[in-house]
Amino acid sequence: MARPQMLKLPEVLTEIQMSRAAFYRMRARGQAPRLQKLPNGHLRVSRNDLDAWWERCEERAA
């Protein structure tokens, strides 16, 4: 079984064209893609979680 692709937060922010501050505001409201904290403290977002979040955003906008 292949491991899911994990994106670094700067990669996610670039892809969704959002500032770090705006992302954390959305996260505080429970509206951001799920972050996973690694044992070393770094944050990652799985590609699947990001794609699912993006689809939900598009559905709400339609």
pTM (2 decimals)? 0.84
Q: What is the pLDDT of residue 4?
A: 77
**Comparing C-alpha atoms, which of 23, 12, 17 is closest to residue 45?**
12
pLDDT tens by residue, the chain, 62 residues: 677 799 999 999 999 999 999 999 999 999 999 999 999 999 999 999 999 999 999 998 88
In this structure, what are the phi and psi dihedrals at residue 35, rounded to the nearest 5 degrees? -95, 145
Q: What is the pLDDT of residue 1?
A: 64
Q: What is the pLDDT of residue 62?
A: 82
